[in-house]
Chain A
């Protein structure tokens, strides 16, 4: 038996050791070993609360381990392994380091038992993940990264403010169920839902993820939003607001996905849509809904990683990322394995029976049914249609098949299957998607509550197949309308991208020139004060003669006379007195003499007055 350590530290330590390994094979082995060690660590972690450290009179808890935390912990570590296999060919250490720090901090959030620890890891998560975007090293990525960081720091501030108010109200920093109502809980919830990409605070996701590196975006899809779902499950189950936000979110992503041309951005909108199911499940708050949210987060991480891996592979080999640049180039002939593996992800997200989305997504919709929420039930159902339409049909059709629009000439593009490690990662993700779909018991056993749900009833399967097949028919009917269009869609990031520019212009131009004016006035004043202070001995005289000069001028003009002579006289005096420069040596002896006398007198008076 070995001693278990916080899994967050395994990844963080792993990240710090990466630069010291020089041999490439050794480094790769190490990168794969870290998630494996973390997984073994998880298996040995007992349930309970431990790793408690006292800090300023508060107990920081690094290990609050229960079924809910474990379920997320498992999938995060599995995902770290898959992501690392996919990124194995990347030679930049920095990317691996930031990925490990990102995974580590997410695990820190998952097992944090108090709000301070949660907040600390929350911030590390934001800062480490932004490098996965910046390593793309182009201007779009740099800008998107800054916007990503800005939104997350705003969310972090809201969370911190909420935590401080919460702690001063309740006196406890324990992170468990938070009663919704009041400023503290609202701010904490705001911090959480910004990370969960709930509209209108979702635009950072669809803005930044598609700009990340091919391998980095695979990591990004898994951790931030799902850890936010975890903290929502922990803190805010049963909040009515979340039901509606979740259902709106599920449809919102779908609508934008119709319009999207960038393949990874299309998938990013589907993250928003899928996280909508989870947020809705949190809001519904029943045991079945909470199980559904947890299960869906688990499955979503696997299939969404697979989808991003597939789309990333296309970008990796072709360098193209837009449907308009890919459609009609018949890539399916050149990368059939990649296409097949992608389709497994596509079927999983669409909840086709025997794939993992079916065993988790239907649980959330069924929970909505059980709680008699007809509108929510239908909204989630509608979002399922959109999911299959885009991720299962439109995207693969446009990327690997498709037609070139009339008038555009087809040029052959270089393409082949992606590197082996990418295919292996996709293969493993695909295997897990099917495995949990065919044998859901393995997933249901680790869910936080006992599961009373059977996905494979005849009614569920037939209903889902009808829904999906007829979606495919409708897709066929509208196939020409669904080709990519060379446009981008404005989203809520417009509010900080366009007016933000006006704000910067305002700062650079009117505000800055106003600042310059004020500065000039004050520096002119400062100059005259400096001139006076250069010679404090003559300063009173300078002031006096200046006053005389102006008083004289004013008096004479009042009377109506002009006295050039007198004015010249004053000016002459002023000039002579101003020209006297202060030379400290002239006055030093005098001052020194004065001070010495004073000191001697003081000394004498002390002696005289001092009585034994």
Chain B
């Protein structure tokens, strides 16, 4: 990825996280909706969880060779 694009990407992330500190929902339903940048944290950790969790499942039984059913 070109460097300019990389910079832009990180600046965008920064901007949205900072905006998260000033914006809160009108009618929060759950406590975590009041935590600033909760979605960012959730997104990062959730993505890692999905990748590692699925890969672990895959390597412990789900993934088989391509000719498994042949």
Q: Which residues of A contact B (CB under 8 A)?
A: 254-256, 258-259, 369-370, 372, 374, 377, 381-382, 385-386, 389, 457-459, 462-475, 477-478, 481-482, 485-491, 497-498
Contacts and interface: CB of A to CB of B under 8 A. Distances in A.
B24 to A, nearest CB: 7
B54 to A, nearest CB: 4
Given A463-B39, A466-B17, A478 B23 contact: no
B64 A489 contact: yes
Given A259-B63, A381-B46, 8 more contacts: A256-B54, A258-B55, A259-B58, A467-B43, A469-B43, A487-B65, A488-B68, A490-B68
Interface of B: 9, 12-13, 16-17, 19-20, 23-26, 29-30, 37-44, 46-51, 53-55, 57-58, 61-66, 68-69
16 contacts: A255-B54, A381-B46, A386-B50, A389-B50, A457-B25, A458-B23, A459-B23, A466-B37, A467-B43, A469-B9, A469-B40, A470-B39, A473-B13, A486-B66, A488-B65, A491-B62
Contacts of A469: 9, 12-13, 16, 40, 43
SS of A interface (majority): helix
**Which of A254, A258, A482 has the most chain B CB within a 10 Å cutoff?**
A258
A142 B22 CA distance: 57
Contacts of B58: 258-259, 487, 489
Contacts of B24: 459
Contacts of A381: 42, 46
Nearest to B13: A469
A258 B50 contact: yes
Given A258-B55, A470-B47, A463 B62 contact: no
A590 B58 CA distance: 87
Contacts of A463: 20, 38-39
Nearest to A251: B50
A259 B54 CA distance: 7
Contacts of A377: 29-30
A470 B54 contact: no
A467 B42 contact: yes
Contacts of B65: 487-488
A200 B18 CA distance: 43
